[in-house]
């Protein structure tokens, strides 16, 4: 009986500490994101891509792609500014645990099993800008596909930072019906190489 009581108390304490830590992370990330229109631009692009892909008139479709190019450029600029802002966060606060599940103080106790969110956001910023500039000469459809994958991967990083890798992957699958591994396959080669080198997977 004593063992189960101790185990229950320990589990409750861990859950409370984890919840406090996650709330702090959510507030920290939100305080930086709130300065920008990143979410609005993401919605604009998501809706615009669907409209363009469903448009039957070629001339109208090209007009939509042209309008979306401006939003893609704005997103790259906005996220670069966000990454610069978040770069001011102290390293201990910016680290993300690579463990599948969230544990309190995991980044402090096991720093080797963590990575720096500031570097991850810099990779995302570069990925958005490179995709918007379309140096690879992708078709509008393929460019939209790549940009969508870049956006999904960035969202995964944000959820990973706030919660855990498992929760982030589950949310990605629930919201976009896309697995984390598929997203990694679909981003630009430059983003994929840099991201995998950082997270070590």
- Quote the tokens at residue 37: 């229109």
Range of the domain at 16: 2-199
Phi/psi of residue 88, nearest 5 degrees: -80, -10
> What pLDDT is stored for residue 3 in this prediction?
66
8 Å CB contact between 117 and 96: yes
Of 84, 70, 43, 48, nearest to 132 (Cα)?
70
> What pLDDT is stored for residue 131 in this prediction?
96
User: Between vectors from CA 171 to CA 170 and to CA 175, what angle results, nearest 5°?
Assistant: 125
> What pLDDT is stored for residue 181 in this prediction?
95
User: Which pLDDT tens digits describe the chain residue by residue (201 residues)?
Assistant: 576 666 666 666 655 666 778 899 999 999 999 999 999 999 999 999 999 999 888 899 999 999 999 999 999 999 999 999 999 999 999 999 998 877 776 677 778 889 999 999 999 999 999 999 998 999 999 999 999 999 999 999 999 999 999 999 999 999 999 999 999 999 999 999 999 999 986
**CA Rg value for the chain:** 19
8 Å CB contact between 184 and 150: no
Hey, how many other C-beta atoms are within 10 angstroms of the C-beta on 118?
A: 18
- Quote the tokens at residue 15: 């859950």
Number of structural domains found in the chain = 1
> What pLDDT is stored for residue 10 in this prediction?
61
- Quote the tokens at residue 89: 């966060």
Per DSSP, the three-state class of 96 is strand
Of 91, 102, 95, nearest to 165 (Cα)?
102
């Amino acid at each position: 009986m004593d063992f189960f009581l101790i185990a229950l108390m320990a589990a409750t304490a861990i859950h409370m500490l984890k919840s406090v830590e996650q709330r702090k992370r959510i507030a920290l990330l939100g305080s930086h994101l709130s300065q920008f229109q990143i979410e609005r631009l993401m919605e604009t692009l998501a809706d615009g891509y669907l409209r363009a892909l469903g448009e039957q008139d070629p001339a109208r479709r090209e007009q939509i792609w042209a309008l979306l190019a401006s939003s893609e450029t704005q997103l790259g600029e906005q996220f670069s500014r966000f990454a610069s802002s978040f770069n001011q966060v102290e390293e201990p606060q910016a680290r993300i645990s690579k463990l599948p599940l969230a544990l309190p103080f995991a980044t402090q106790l096991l720093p080797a099993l963590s990575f720096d969110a500031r570097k991850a956001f810099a990779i995302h910023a570069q990925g958005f800008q490179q995709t918007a500039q379309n140096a690879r000469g992708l078709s509008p459809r393929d460019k939209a596909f790549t940009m969508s994958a870049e956006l999904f991967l960035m969202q995964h990083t944000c959820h990973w930072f706030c919660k855990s890798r498992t929760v982030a992957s589950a949310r990605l699958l629930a919201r976009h019906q896309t697995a984390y591994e598929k997203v990694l396959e679909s981003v630009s080669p430059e983003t994929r190489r840099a991201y995998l080198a950082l997270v070590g997977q």
